[in-house]
Chains A and B, each alone.
Chain A
Amino acid sequence: MRFALAPLGPAGAAAAAGAVLAAVVVASLAGPLLDQADPLAIDAGNLLADPTALHPLGTDELGRDLLARVLYGGRVSLAVAAAAAVVAGTVGVPLGVMAAFLGPRGETALMRVIDVFVSLPEIFVAIVVLAFLGGSLATLIGTIGLLYCPQFARVAYGMARSIRAREHVLAAVSLGGGRWWIIRHEILPNMHSVIVVQASFTFSFAMLMEAGLSFLGLGVRPPTPSWGQMVGTLKDYLFINAWPVLVPSCMLFATVLAVNVLGDWLQDRLNPELQR
């Protein structure tokens, strides 16, 4: 992916991506300060309007201000993705590290199970679970987070295994270090770069997953906006006005692209030995 912005060089591409991401995050957080409009206020005289002075990005099918909704929706989309990545990491990393220290039989068994879950198409499990458990934000975050924790576990397992074979770990073992001591002091501190990179990829997967589920009507429920949910609703009005649906679509695309470019740069920076 670093080739995408090759004229700028890898660092330039990452800087551009970082700027985009920072702009999106700041705008979403500071939304109410930038834009006084209420994301839920209905302006019945202006349905599916193009940008005007009153509504800088136009309005949706109920005449709600799109700029305000995109900013609030950004908060929801970013927060769900970030929280899901945190859940995936806090469950997945201990699982993976544990697998590396279980002894050969436990290791194989646990990793077999994890492999089955890694290969499952996650979205179908998410659809069934969310259709039953409803669309509260906590359920959504938990479901997405748990679905991506096997991938995290697999990466953590691979890394923990390779660190386990290094000399400083052997030295710690021969000096009488216990299993927990070694995990805490020798393994985990050497894993943070891999965890950071995997977290950035999980963030982009989680963001796409939330968008897809909300698009289907199973994720974030109205009236709370999220980018995916806005696209899901506004696509029905495409033939009346194609503009409104493009607004959340572009935000989603730009954010995921920026996260992916940054993730690749981090991967090359932090783990140069891992060539894909």
Chain B
Amino acid sequence: MCRFLLRRLASALLTLVLASGVVFSLIHLLPGDPVVMILGEQAGADPVAANRLRSELGLDRPLPAQFVAWVGELGRGELGRSLRTGEPVAAELGRRLPRSLELIGGGLCFAVLFGVPLGVVAACERQRPSGIAAAALAVAGFSAPVFVIGILLVIAFSLWLKILPSSGYVALAEDPLTHLSCLVLPSASVGLNFMGVVARMTRASLADTLGKDYVRLARAKGLSRRQAILHHALPNALVPVIAIVGIRAGNLLGSMVIVEALFDWPGLSSLLVSACFARDYPVMQGSLLAIFAIFVVISLLIDVAQGLVDPRTRENAA
């Protein structure tokens, strides 16, 4: 297990290094000049000032040199300063990272809480109306764009029932209750969309497991169908479900962007989007890297969880 952990950790680090290279080259190879963004019209009128600013920002050096400088800063835990505000990027990321993690964590909770039972009903009651309804719900969650789910939730809970806020963010330390109530709708939107993925996988995997001999044995020795499903079939059927969360982690992060925009949630991806519009290179690099890091860490945790639950997967991983 220890060797498996180390190997998996090394490959995660490697992915992150590769990703940082991709992030850096993507941003610097695309056209667009931050100096023009900062100085506006002046840049054309006053080339001397433009060049001075360019060398102050280090943008006049060759790309490989800029990359080495950036990686060096990364090593010291610094990510440069925002071109717009002059604030250190690392501090801003530190403030926003927990908010995005909260959203993803909340979304996963919703997805598992609704997705697994739906999948179980869909697999066990195949031919009955309840099973068909469960499968239909899973497909609906899977096919609905995240923002459509979010808007429907806002209409139901903010506009009609008036019990949850439709957008905004309040720090946990300031007012824990309001903080949580602001979190419910965004994470439910992420979760109900991802629920479709979880339910589909649970249904397929459980349907497969129900035909296995050990489940028939459990029934033969006198367990009720309910007990056989809950205690024998389901735990084994959930292993592929853990795996699909890792494989589809990209979907989860993709929903995060949309949901942060819809609910004015001040997380990492709203920072990325605003930095893109402003050509704020350091902020773009930092936030993209943080998002990819979340992605790599999720995959790592999922792999380790799978390795713990199912020793056979340790052989193939990494």
- List A residues at the B interface (Cβ < 8 Å): 1, 3-7, 116, 119-125, 127-129, 131-133, 204, 208, 211-212, 215-216, 218, 228, 231-232, 235, 238-239, 242, 245-246, 249, 252-253, 256-257, 260-261, 276
Contacts and interface: CB of A to CB of B under 8 A. Distances in A.
Interface residues of B, number: 54
A238 B158 CA distance: 10
Interface stretch (B55-63, B137-145, B181-189): B137-145
A108 B18 CA distance: 18
Contact of B250 (A120, A216, A261): A120
Nearest to B208: A275
26 contacts: A3-B126, A3-B131, A3-B135, A3-B136, A4-B135, A4-B139, A4-B140, A5-B136, A116-B15, A120-B19, A121-B251, A124-B257, A124-B292, A127-B272, A127-B276, A129-B30, A208-B145, A212-B145, A212-B146, A212-B254, A228-B147, A231-B145, A252-B145, A256-B143, A256-B144, A260-B142
B254 A123 contact: yes
Interface in B237-261: 247, 249-251, 253-254, 257-258, 261
Contacts of B291: 121, 124
Interface string B143-184: 111111001101100010000001000000000000000000
A122 B254 contact: yes
Given A238-B159, A242-B155, A132 B136 contact: no
Contacts of B284: 128
Contacts of A4: 132, 135-136, 139-140
B30 A257 contact: no
Given A3-B126, A127-B257, A235 B132 contact: no
Main secondary structure of the interface of A (DSSP, over half): helix
B148 A231 contact: yes
Contacts of A261: 139
B31 interface: yes
Given A128-B27, A132-B32, A253 B204 contact: no
B273 interface: yes
A116 B155 CA distance: 39
Contacts of B32: 132
Nearest to A5: B136
Residue from B15, B135, B143, B151 having most chain A Cβ neighbours under 10 A: B143
Interface of B: 15, 18-19, 26-27, 30-32, 122, 126-127, 131-132, 135-136, 139-140, 142-148, 151-152, 154-155, 159, 166, 200, 203-204, 247, 249-251, 253-254, 257-258, 261-262, 269, 272-273, 276-277, 284, 288, 291-292, 295, 299
A212 B256 CA distance: 11
Contact of B277 (A116, A131, A249): A131
Contact of B288 (A122, A124, A132, A249): A124
A208 B258 CA distance: 11
Contacts of B155: 238, 242, 246
A246 B147 CA distance: 11
A128 B28 CA distance: 11
